[in-house]
Structure 1
Amino acid sequence: MNVYIITGTTRGLGAALAAGWLREGALVVGLARTYDGTLGRLAEQNGARFEWIACDLAETGRLTEKLEEALERIPLEQADRLTLVHNAGVLEPMGPLEVASASDLALHTSVNLTAPLVLTSAFIRLTEPYRHTVERTIVAVSSGAARKPYAGWSAYCATKAGLDMLARCIAVEQGDAPGAVRFLSIAPGVIDTRMQEQIRATADEAFPAKARFVKLQASGQLLSPDEAAGKLIRFIGSRSWKQGDVLDLRDLPLDGT
């Protein structure tokens, strides 16, 4: 049995990833602030199972107990593969760093970087008893902004770069021995989500690269969440990546995409 714990399953890529794995018959646990029942109904239609745990990633002090709750709902003795997906993220505040408030920056960092750090730590520790019976994987949804600086995106670029380095550090800590937790950080490309709507609604002076993203949307070059999720699911499942890889989905030759 394949099991996936995904942050941010309310909408966008997180919901699409959950839906894709549910269609494969997996058990999916969503850590998200809200839930409308759609993924549960999809699970029933496909002989799968979806569990929702109400979770605000900004409340980093409660994340370990949220992961504990998620693991309690999973029959780990029946699992073959257990994957934690750091999907949720925020873009704001956008604009020059000097105009951002301390509280906005703290919230941004909590969701985009501190939450993955806390959840990764808890995941490794809490699943250690199953290291020889369950294949354990962590996937971070990164961004091209982790590797390319954008004016107006200091916080976003910095936290996404932090996710990439987290993958590399965990790879060094865990190594490649049997039972090690494998970590992949991967940028999925530009996806037509609410985040893109935020970008297009931003003032030009706050984000000078706005025109590029407006053009991508106008020319139909944005991936739909389902398209991006399909590519990610196939690549993650292919196991063709190495421990600690930091990749961009757009650079990979994917069959059937």
Structure 2
Amino acid sequence: MNYAIVTGASRGLGESIGKLFLESNTALITISRSKNEQLEKLAAEKGLPFQHFFCDLSVGLETEKVFKEVASVVFNEDVNKVYFVQNAGLVTPIGQVGQLDTKAMEDSLHVNLLSPMIATNEMLHAATESKAELIIVNISSGAGSRPVHGWGTYCTTKAGLNMFTETVALELSKNHSKHKAIAFSPGIMDTDMQGTIRSSTKESFDDIEKFQRYKKEGMLRDTDTVAQALMGLLLGDKIESGKLYHVNNLL
């Protein structure tokens, strides 16, 4: 049996990824502040194990505790592969540096960067003595590779996540480990995050009109299409550890 762990699976890309894992007969664990009832129902219909762990990923100690529990579930003798997709993310706070809310910056740092670091640390620690192969997928963004007006926090956390992914992959390679770590940039999608971006102001986010046009002109990809591109990569078994994959190159 294979297991998939997906954070932020209550809606959007995380929900689409979770659905495709179930359709590929992979047991599923979801982690977020709310459970996705549709994923639970689909798992029951297919006779696959499903568990949801409630977790506020902005709280470091809570993240550590939950992932210790998750690791104890998935790493057993009957599991061949564990796919770990860290999808949860915050685009807020949106605004120019000098006008940002400290608590919002702290939450973004925790959810986008520190939480994935803590979770990866716990999962790799538990995977050391397991026969299962762990494949870590960190959902990145084009904003992690270039500055964007009003996205100082988001750009910084995604750039940090990219570097963390590369570092983990380097260490795994040095240790001749079977485990892998990659980053995946999903491009612009029709999600609640996009709605948050469009509801900001010109003063806070200089490119707001461009993002409003993306929605108006139907330029946003649906999350199922993006999830299918990622799943094609993961199930194709040709993953290059440490690489940042872009959705445009996989479609």
TM tier, smaller: over 0.9
Q: What does residue 9 of structure 2 align with?
A: 9
CA drift of 1:71 comes to: 2.6
Q: What does residue 69 of structure 1 align with?
A: 69
After superposition, residues 160-199 of structure 1 pair within 5 angstroms as: 160-175=158-173, 178-199=176-197
Distance 1:93 1:74 in 2: 34
Q: What does residue 216 of structure 2 align with?
A: 218
CA drift of 1:134 comes to: 1.1
Query: How many residue pairs align between the two structures?
Result: 251
Q: 1:147 aligns with which of 122, 145, 151?
A: 145
2:135 pairs with 1:137: yes
Q: What does residue 95 of structure 1 align with?
A: 95
Whether the aligned pair in 2 keeps the contact of 1:176 and 1:243 (CA below 8 Å) is no
SS in 2 for 1:29: strand
Distance 1:177 1:128 in 2: 11
Q: What does residue 120 of structure 2 align with?
A: 120
Q: Which runs of 4+ in 1 moved over 4 A?
A: none
CA drift of 1:247 comes to: 2.2
After superposition, residues 29-40 of structure 1 pair within 5 angstroms as: 29-40=29-40
Whether the aligned pair in 2 keeps the contact of 1:23 and 1:48 (CA below 8 Å) is no
Which deviates more from structure 2 when the two are superposed, residues 43-52 or residues 220-229? Answer: 43-52
Distance 2:223 2:171 in 1: 33
Whether the aligned pair in 2 keeps the contact of 1:40 and 1:49 (CA below 8 Å) is no
**Structure 2 unpaired stretches of 5+:** none
CA deviation string 1:163-187 (max 9, x = no partner): 1101110111111665332100110
Q: One-letter code of the match for 2:40?
A: G
Q: Superposition RMSD on alpha carbons, in Å?
A: 1.4
CA deviation string 1:57-88 (max 9, x = no partner): 01111222201211333362111101211100
Whether the aligned pair in 2 keeps the contact of 1:24 and 1:46 (CA below 8 Å) is no
Distance 1:124 1:111 in 2: 19
Whether the aligned pair in 2 keeps the contact of 1:25 and 1:49 (CA below 8 Å) is no
**Structure 1 unpaired stretches of 5+:** none
Q: What does residue 247 of structure 1 align with?
A: 245
Distance 1:121 1:73 in 2: 16
Q: One-letter code of the match for 1:212?
A: K
CA drift of 1:140 comes to: 0.3
Which deviates more from structure 2 when the two are superposed, residues 175-184 or residues 161-170? Answer: 175-184
Q: One-letter code of the match for 1:25?
A: N
CA deviation string 1:178-200 (max 9, x = no partner): 53321001101111000000111
SS in 2 for 1:31: strand
Q: One-letter code of the match for 2:29?
A: V
SS in 2 for 1:76: coil
SS in 2 for 1:186: strand
Whether the aligned pair in 2 keeps the contact of 1:29 and 1:52 (CA below 8 Å) is yes
CA drift of 1:92 comes to: 0.7
Whether the aligned pair in 2 keeps the contact of 1:22 and 1:50 (CA below 8 Å) is no
Q: One-letter code of the match for 1:118?
A: I
Distance 1:152 1:211 in 2: 13
Q: One-letter code of the match for 2:106?
A: A
Which deviates more from structure 2 when the two are superposed, residues 121-130 or residues 40-49? Answer: 40-49
Distance 2:98 2:4 in 1: 39
Distance 2:74 2:175 in 1: 25
Distance 1:190 1:40 in 2: 27
Whether the aligned pair in 1 keeps the contact of 2:139 and 2:186 (CA below 8 Å) is yes
Q: What does residue 57 of structure 1 align with?
A: 57
Q: One-letter code of the match for 2:43?
A: A
SS in 2 for 1:56: coil
